[in-house]
Chains A and B, each alone.
Chain A
Amino acid sequence: MMQSRVIGFENEVTGGNVSDLKQTPLHELHVELGARMVPFAGYDMPVQYKLGVMKEHLHTRAKAGLFDVSHMGQVIVTGADYAAAARALETLIPVDILGLAENRQRYGLFTRDDGGICDDLMLANRGDHVLLVVNAACKDADMAHLKTLEPAVTVTPVTDRALIALQGPAAEEVLAALDPRAAEMAFMDVATLDLDGVEAWVSRSGYTGEDGYEISVPEGAAQAIARRLLDHDAVEPIGLGARDSLRLEAGLCLYGHDIDTMTSPVEAALGWAIQKVRREGGAREGGYPGAEVVMRQMRRGCDHLRVGLRPEGRAPMREGVELFAEPEGGKPIGRITSGGFGPSVETPVAMGYLPTDLSAVGTRVYGELRGKRVPVTVTALPFIPARFKRKPAKAQA
């Protein structure tokens, strides 16, 4: 029993003693709220609070959850103007940054020369600069990578701000009570809001499949803002455990698991993130590391694809479970990259890679669990319908 393994976190645990762990500006609040703390990407982070992973997950989908994501890296890139910064970033990131409208955000990837992904991130056009949000475990490598763009642009890590996510159907009501302009934002809009006199850099986005916001505030004000949001009846604090089950049901990739240096954007089924203008024949085609590989895969397809997977029965299939084409015999054809029980869908859910000819929705394969082959069906992602407050199509930038 005590060999109990908290799954999905071990890869993020960096070496060194627990005493070497960094703390976010909300650390004291987590402890006060009774969080169970675990090492994650070099930080002492809350994996769950008193409600527990299951109830925290369901609460976020029903009302609103508050997440401390201050461990993630915030980086400002400036140039002579926004366009100069965007052009420089486009040499590392295969998405349309130049064409991103002011006060809009989009998803992006850092690629390598072989087409592998070194990180995924969010990019926002904040007028005179680009604001990036990168994964905690990758932020040092990303900074080194970004520094290669200097001196054409200036790359500045933001180390004095916390990042708080407020996610769920009640998020709008909760944040709009502090600044009504929150309600006017659409999915992937960014704005500077005034939360009790504190300057907050806010995006209407998240990592749960729900409507919600990510809120960057000065570290000294973070606890007060978090407490103010938690004062609302609809809001509960949510740990990394539920953050993982929420993003999994939403079909969102976790870097280091579902995507890494061995997977390309095309294999990862993230081709949608590469806008037409950066694709073959586009006005600014290629020009990023691995462009040849990515464009060839977009043209001809690739051998393996990331898919959604629904195991039969109740047994969760976790990362590392091998997939087979047949109920017995044969060699593994693929592998689960993240999986667990989906509290909202009430079945096990997973993502993994399969050969392209076995990747169509409805295809049945088998996962090997404790020596037994259990049927697994390829399923469309996300597992739950996304509930973003999208901008009407005609008004879309």
Chain B
Amino acid sequence: MKFTEEHEWLRPEDDIVVVGITEHATEQLGDLVFVELPEAGATVVKDDEIVVIESVKAASDICAPLDGEIVEVNEALADNPALVNEDPLGNGWFFKIRPADPEQMDGYMDEAAYKAMIA
């Protein structure tokens, strides 16, 4: 599992990568009330703003961590954004991406480095 400085986690599963936000991020944001996800099938470029998340008072953008194709999005979040707060590393995942260049993963932190960053 890898982590970005923007508090996303990336979990490789075979040839795809599951992406969500960390527990630390959800604590900072507070209870989410709205999540807008990209369309499955979309081709995205690293750093594109592809997810909008809103809490009662704050709006944030989540950027694509990798170049690639969005193969699946977590439709359950549309009706129940609170899943992100309840289970950020599990049921609160955002999307699955098929990386165009898997080596982009190497640039991200491992768990120990991420923990050190937020400490």
The answer on a CB contact under 8 Å between B21 and A6 is no
The answer on a CB contact under 8 Å between B60 and A314 is no
Taken residue by residue from 21 to 35, chain B's Cβ proximity to chain A (1 for < 8 Å, 0 otherwise) reads as 100010011110110
Give me 15 A-to-B residue pairs in the complex whose CB atoms sit less than 8 angstroms apart, sorted by A's number.
A1-B6, A1-B7, A1-B25, A2-B7, A5-B59, A7-B57, A241-B30, A245-B56, A315-B36, A315-B52, A316-B59, A340-B56, A341-B54, A348-B34, A370-B52
CB distance from B9 to the nearest CB of A (A): 12
CB distance from B38 to the nearest CB of A (A): 12
| Given A2-B6, A341-B54, residue A7 in contact with residue B30 (CB < 8 A) | no
Q: Report the interface size for chain B: residues with CB under 8 A from the other chain.
A: 26
| B contact residues around A47 at 8 Å (CB) | 57
How far does the alpha carbon of A47 sit from the alpha carbon of B36 in the complex, in Å? 25
The answer on a CB contact under 8 Å between A55 and B31 is yes
| A contact residues around B61 at 8 Å (CB) | 1, 3
Known contacts A47-B57, A53-B56, then 7 further A-B pairs from the complex at CB < 8 Å, ordered by chain A residue = A1-B6, A1-B25, A1-B63, A48-B30, A53-B30, A53-B55, A343-B33
CB distance from A363 to the nearest CB of B (A): 24
| Given A314-B78, A370-B52, residue A4 in contact with residue B33 (CB < 8 A) | no
| A contact residues around B30 at 8 Å (CB) | 48, 52-54, 241
Q: Which among B6, B34, B52 is the interface contact of A341 at CB below 8 angstroms?
A: B34
The answer on a CB contact under 8 Å between B62 and A6 is no
The answer on a CB contact under 8 Å between A318 and B59 is yes
49-89 of chain B: CB within 8 A of chain A:
52, 54-63, 78, 81
How far does the alpha carbon of A186 sit from the alpha carbon of B40 in the complex, in Å? 57
| A contact residues around B36 at 8 Å (CB) | 315, 370
Greatest chain A CB density within 10 A among B7, B21, B31, B78 is at B31
Taken residue by residue from 309 to 347, chain A's Cβ proximity to chain B (1 for < 8 Å, 0 otherwise) reads as 000001110100000000000000000000011010000
A8 near B: Cβ within 8 Å? yes
How far does the alpha carbon of A370 sit from the alpha carbon of B49 in the complex, in Å? 11
A278 near B: Cβ within 8 Å? no
| Given A314-B34, A316-B34, residue A4 in contact with residue B29 (CB < 8 A) | yes
The answer on a CB contact under 8 Å between A241 and B34 is no
The answer on a CB contact under 8 Å between B7 and A341 is no
The answer on a CB contact under 8 Å between B57 and A1 is no
| A contact residues around B63 at 8 Å (CB) | 1
CB distance from A136 to the nearest CB of B (A): 18
How far does the alpha carbon of A108 sit from the alpha carbon of B36 in the complex, in Å? 41
| Given A1-B6, A52-B30, residue A7 in contact with residue B58 (CB < 8 A) | yes
1-50 of chain A: CB within 8 A of chain B:
1-9, 47-48
How far does the alpha carbon of A48 sit from the alpha carbon of B55 in the complex, in Å? 13
| A contact residues around B78 at 8 Å (CB) | 314
CB distance from B82 to the nearest CB of A (A): 9
How far does the alpha carbon of A220 sit from the alpha carbon of B55 in the complex, in Å? 36
A96 near B: Cβ within 8 Å? no
A57 near B: Cβ within 8 Å? yes
The answer on a CB contact under 8 Å between B54 and A315 is yes
Considering the complex of A and B, which 10 residue pairs feature the smallest CB-CB distances, nearest first? A54-B31, A341-B33, A4-B60, A1-B6, A53-B56, A52-B30, A241-B57, A314-B34, A6-B58, A1-B7
A211 near B: Cβ within 8 Å? no
CB distance from B34 to the nearest CB of A (A): 5
How far does the alpha carbon of A244 sit from the alpha carbon of B57 in the complex, in Å? 9
| Given A1-B25, A54-B30, residue A340 in contact with residue B57 (CB < 8 A) | yes
How far does the alpha carbon of A202 sit from the alpha carbon of B42 in the complex, in Å? 59
71-119 of chain B: CB within 8 A of chain A:
78, 81
How far does the alpha carbon of A267 sit from the alpha carbon of B33 in the complex, in Å? 31
How far does the alpha carbon of A245 sit from the alpha carbon of B7 in the complex, in Å? 27
